[in-house]
């Protein structure tokens, strides 16, 4: 999701109730120079009266049932444990200030020939296990409900921490605007048999988590990919968790599983800490988590039994022999773009990679010494990149025709995550989640270029080559290379 230049500024006509007088600024991630931004704090020492969050479900709705474990939490400094909050409702919201005719904002459905299902997988009762959301071609006609987009309120708390907002305020805002959003993939729908699907591992950005790139992941699944969206536990996600065994002294609640959620929140830079050192350490862990996810899916594909501690009713045996083990790629946004590069350098089974608006600061100097041999596509936004970052990309790709770079005109860093679709025009302008280009057109350009690139370098027998021109930066609202003015190359 980040790093990006995003302004979180609440204005009177966009906020419910007594929150309307509060103005809160926050910026995602570091500045374009790569240096950490100072925290931005609200001017008041306490949140305003009336900002408390209701923990009851909206009238006439039920909170969806989550994994059978209760919840505890910790922040980056080892904060106190807290109680699990309820989940989310299931209808998309209406933008405040609109007419009585309901105008809903939804994450776009996949445009490919396959219906799409999704399910969550967590292995081991420890932080070292894998945690991912799997998107896959599913049987059509299922009556399964759509999956909740943000499945736990603790993610709202993590986003609030990441944005330097009071949790009580941020939780209220997120619940109000996106608390009822679902993603257009059927939860635990039956896996569609009869084909071997290429595998795509997806890595999220700084301050994000596994569910908020669903527009990209669902489109890829609808086009015949199995997509494993990893949730990283390197403290770069705004929030994540693992399930651990309850201590004997803790009371057993309604759940009899004997497990509880241990929450891990985004770790902010400490005073005087160099960001590059932290991010380089994190990107190495992230790459290992991508490789671990790859190994896990291949293990399931081979028929080995895997225990999912989340106890979903998805039939993992149906995935056996359904993954094309010779066609595997890695993809990610921002910090996830750096993770793509690191993963390619460590794992040759990734035949190619796609880096969406990559943030190059975390990439180690050793990576530039011919350690990335696989084809690589950089898809950049127009408004986020800067010269030093682009020069690092070019350093990786200068002498390799299989490494490409394109820029989507009118796009911003947030044109890739789902927030650009669910915010609406009014909120999108306040949050700077939308660029000058229509969000659906921007994501289509990105997805079509990605599919064309994957067809070429995974040797797919599809019709994605109809978009080959986009990979060369030819077409409406796309340019080859970059829009950034670069210093002249130094003579050798």
Please give the positions annotated as active site: 334, 357, 413
* Residue 489 buriedness (CB in 10 A; 0-12 / 13-18 / 19+): exposed
Number of residues assigned to the chain: 492
Contact 335, 359 (CB under 8 A): yes
Return d(Cα 429, Cα 420) in angstroms, integer: 10
Contact 478, 408 (CB under 8 A): yes
Which residue in 338, 324, 374, 318 sits closest to 2, CA to CA?
A: 338
Return d(Cα 336, Cα 332) in angstroms, integer: 4
Return d(Cα 31, Cα 9) in angstroms, integer: 18
Contact 479, 469 (CB under 8 A): no
User: What is the distance of C-alpha 80 from the center of its chain?
Assistant: 27
* Strand arrangement of the beta sheet that strand 182-187 belongs to: 146-148, 182-187, 115-122, 131-138, 226-230, 197-203, 323-333, 352-356, 376-381, 403-408, 478-480
* Bridge partner list, 406: 379, 480
Complete DSSP assignment for 164-181 = T--HHHHHHHHHHHHTT-
Here the tokens at position 218 are 């669902």
């Amino acid at each position: 999701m980040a790093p990006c230049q995003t302004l979180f500024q609440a204005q009177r006509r966009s906020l419910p109730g007594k929150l309307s007088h509060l103005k809160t600024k926050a910026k995602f991630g570091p500045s374009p120079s790569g240096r950490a931004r100072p925290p931005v704090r609200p001017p008041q020492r306490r949140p305003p009266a009336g900002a408390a969050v209701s923990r009851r479900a909206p009238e006439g709705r039920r909170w969806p049932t989550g994994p059978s474990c209760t919840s505890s939490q910790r922040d980056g400094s080892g904060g106190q444990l807290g109680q699990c909050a309820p989940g989310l409702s299931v209808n998309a919201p209406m933008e405040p200030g609109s007419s009585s005719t309901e105008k809903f904002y939804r994450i776009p459905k996949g445009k490919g020939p396959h219906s799409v299902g999704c399910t969550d997988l967590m292995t081991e009762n420890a932080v070292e296990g894998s945690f991912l959301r799997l998107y896959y071609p599913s049987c059509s006609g299922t009556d399964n409900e759509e999956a909740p987009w943000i499945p736990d309120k603790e993610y709202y708390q993590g986003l609030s921490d990441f944005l330097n907002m009071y949790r009580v305020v941020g939780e209220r805002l997120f619940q109000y605007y996106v608390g009822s959003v679902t993603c257009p993939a059927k939860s635990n729908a039956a896996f569609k048999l009869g084909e071997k699907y290429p595998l795509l591992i997806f890595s999220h950005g700084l301050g994000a988590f596994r569910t908020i790139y669903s527009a990209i992941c669902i489109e890829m699944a609808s086009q015949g990919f199995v997509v494993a969206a990893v949730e990283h536990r390197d403290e770069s996600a705004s929030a994540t968790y693992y399930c651990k065994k309850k201590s004997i002294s803790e009371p057993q609640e309604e759940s009899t599983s004997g497990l509880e959620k241990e929450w891990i929140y985004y770790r902010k830079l400490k005073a005087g800490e160099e960001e590059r050192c932290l991010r380089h350490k994190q990107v190495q862990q992230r790459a290992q988590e991508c490789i671990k996810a790859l190994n896990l899916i291949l293990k399931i594909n081979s028929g080995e039994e895997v225990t999912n501690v989340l106890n979903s009713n998805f039939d993992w045996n149906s995935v056996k022999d359904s993954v094309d083990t010779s066609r595997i790629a890695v993809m990610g946004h921002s910090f996830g773009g750096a993770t793509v590069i690191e993963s390619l350098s460590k794992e040759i089974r990734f035949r190619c990679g796609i880096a969406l608006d990559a943030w190059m600061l975390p990439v180690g100097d050793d990576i530039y010494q011919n350690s990335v041999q696989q084809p690589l596509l950089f898809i950049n936004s127009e408004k986020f990149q800067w010269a030093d970052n682009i020069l690092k990309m070019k350093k990786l790709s200068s002498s390799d025709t299989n490494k490409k770079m394109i820029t989507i005109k009118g796009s911003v860093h947030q044109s890739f995550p789902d927030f650009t679709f669910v915010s609406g025009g009014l909120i999108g302008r306040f949050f700077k989640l939308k660029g000058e280009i229509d969000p659906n057109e921007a994501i289509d350009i990105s997805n079509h270029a990605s599919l064309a690139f994957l067809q070429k370098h995974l040797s797919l027998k599809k019709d994605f080559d109809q978009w080959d021109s986009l990979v060369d930066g030819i077409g409406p609202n796309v340019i080859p290379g970059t829009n950034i003015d670069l210093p002249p190359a130094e003579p050798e």
